[in-house]
């Protein structure tokens, strides 16, 4: 199958440091190639991939030292995708909803994975205008604010099984916090959990410009505690040691996390997760198996004393079964095949000079209505799922 993967341009694919969406795009692209498919990646020019790379700009936006603007860069990339669209069976977008006005006429050949939160004022009315686009959620919880939208499946993120090293016996007596310094991620709560548990906390996180004031005013003063060590951003190469040697990953979020890639990174190392029951957490963490879900700081501190009883071998087994990159790629391939088959059925039906008929998709969503008479050639319109 000929597949186009269209990535955002904020980070390279894969990212050098932080960057969840671009990391997922990389793992999906490489897994699809391993499964024998022809993949083209539209991304920044500093990306590293086995696919055919179509560079939209020379460097990813976040690490570009020159003054840059994300909107023209993304629109130029999307125009290039349009020019090459006939080369592909499926166009897989990871650019949120930016592409939709430009690809309305070929929505039936696209899949859009929504990577971000959907409980934002302007998102529901926008998606309501573009119901013809087949959407994929990265957790069932992510759908709640836009349940009316044209979701065709939920596909959980996956990681290569050999990316992180399994550590059955952690060598460090500490808790880990990995991700981004932001109020919704709860670094201050992670510090308080560690204090109450009497354990060291290592924080490996980036600080976005938007969160610099929060870091300076709320978090930096807490770093004077001898139990707290701020490591800064780390790369994939550092995560096996950082996560694998931790007693647990602390994930005390206070927002509707769409997925939370760091949770499965910890599981790949065999490290259990202590997390708040927000967003995707109850879907990703199996309470009592791969981690413990705690409703507040006090419960999380108590969970620290219990988490050592969890079987790290079992945590790794669950990761391999549910969250491998190959499992993710196969789930997407099933959706690509549905897209192609639906397109072929629609084209074939358009060519038949027969009475009007109604076909309902196997998933029970909107029917395709074929008129009594049609032109010899007609572009498919309307939702396919």
Band of the pLDDT at 67, cuts 50, 70, 90?
confident
The pLDDT score that the predictor gives to residue 367 is 35
Band of the pLDDT at 8, cuts 50, 70, 90?
very high
- What SS3 class is residue 284? helix
Could you tell me the CA-to-CA distances from 360 to 84, 129, 344 in Å, in that order? 31, 22, 15
The pLDDT score that the predictor gives to residue 18 is 72
Question: Contact 43/95 with Cβ under 8 angstroms?
Answer: no
Band of the pLDDT at 57, cuts 50, 70, 90?
very high
- What SS3 class is residue 68? coil
| β-strands 38-43, 52-55 pairing | parallel
Q: Which residue has the higher pLDDT, 51 or 375?
A: 51
Go through the domains of the chain in sequence order and give each one's CATH number.
1-158+324-385 (3.40.50.2000), 174-322 (3.40.50.2000)
Residues 6+ apart with CB under 8 A from 242: 176, 178, 202, 204, 231, 234
Average pLDDT, the chain: 90
pLDDT at 38 over 90: yes
42-46: list long-range contacts, CB under 8 Å, 24+ apart. 42/4, 42/5, 42/6, 42/7, 42/77, 42/80, 42/81, 43/5, 43/7, 43/9, 43/12, 43/13, 44/7, 44/9, 44/11, 44/12, 44/13, 46/12
The pLDDT score that the predictor gives to residue 19 is 78
Residue with token string 């000929």: 2
CA neighbor of 197 nearest in space, from 310, 293, 305, 292:
305
Band of the pLDDT at 374, cuts 50, 70, 90?
very low
Band of the pLDDT at 347, cuts 50, 70, 90?
low
Q: What pTM, to 2 d.p., does this model score?
A: 0.87
Locate 331 and state its tokens. Answer: 């789930």
Q: Compute φ and ψ for 202, nearest 5 degrees.
A: -105, 130
Mean pLDDT of 99-120: 97
The pLDDT score that the predictor gives to residue 380 is 35
Other CB atoms within 10 A of residue 373 CB: 9
Could you tell me the CA-to-CA distances from 77 to 1, 39, 59, 112, 244 in Å, in that order? 22, 17, 13, 16, 38
């Amino acid at each position: 199958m000929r597949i186009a993967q269209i990535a955002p341009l904020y980070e390279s694919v894969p990212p050098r440091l932080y960057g969840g969406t671009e990391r997922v795009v990389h793992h999906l692209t490489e897994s699809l190639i391993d499964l024998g498919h022809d993949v083209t990646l539209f991304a920044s020019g500093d990306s590293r991939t086995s696919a055919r790379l179509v560079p939209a700009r020379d460097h990813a936006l976040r690490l570009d030292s020159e003054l840059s603007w994300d909107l023209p860069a993304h629109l130029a990339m999307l125009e290039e995708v349009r020019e090459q669209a006939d080369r592909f069976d499926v166009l897989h977008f990871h650019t949120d909803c930016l592409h939709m006005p430009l690809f309305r006429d070929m929505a039936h050949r696209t899949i859009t994975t929504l990577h971000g939160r959907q409980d934002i004022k302007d998102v529901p009315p926008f998606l309501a205008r573009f119901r013809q686009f087949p959407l994929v959620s990265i957790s069932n919880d992510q759908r709640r604010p836009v349940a009316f939208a044209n979701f065709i499946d939920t596909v959980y993120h996956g990681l290569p099984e050999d990316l992180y090293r399994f550590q059955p016996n952690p060598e460090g007596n500490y808790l880990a916090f990995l991700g981004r310094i932001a109020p919704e991620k709860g670094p201050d709560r992670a510090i308080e959990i560690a204090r109450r548990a009497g354990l060291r906390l290592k924080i490996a996180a980036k600080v976005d410009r938007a969160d610099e004031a929060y870091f300076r005013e709320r978090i930096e003063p807490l770093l004077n505690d001898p139990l707290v060590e701020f490591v800064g951003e780390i790369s994939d190469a550092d995560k096996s040691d950082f996560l694998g040697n931790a007693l647990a990953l602390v994930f005390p979020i206070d927002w509707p996390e769409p997925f939370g890639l760091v949770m499965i990174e910890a599981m790949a190392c065999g490290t259990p997760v202590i997390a708040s029951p927000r967003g995707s957490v109850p879907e990703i963490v199996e309470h009592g198996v791969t981690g413990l879900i705690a409703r507040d700081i006090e419960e999380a501190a108590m969970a620290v004393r219990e988490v050592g009883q969890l079987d790290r071998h079992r945590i790794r087994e669950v990761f391999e079964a549910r969250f491998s990159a190959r499992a993710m790629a196969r789930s997407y391939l099933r959706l690509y095949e549905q897209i192609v088959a639906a397109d072929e059925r629609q084209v074939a039906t358009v060519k038949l000079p027969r009475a009007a008929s109604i076909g309902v998709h196997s998933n029970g969503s909107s029917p395709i209505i074929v008129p009594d008479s049609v032109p010899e050639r007609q572009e498919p319109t309307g939702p396919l799922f």
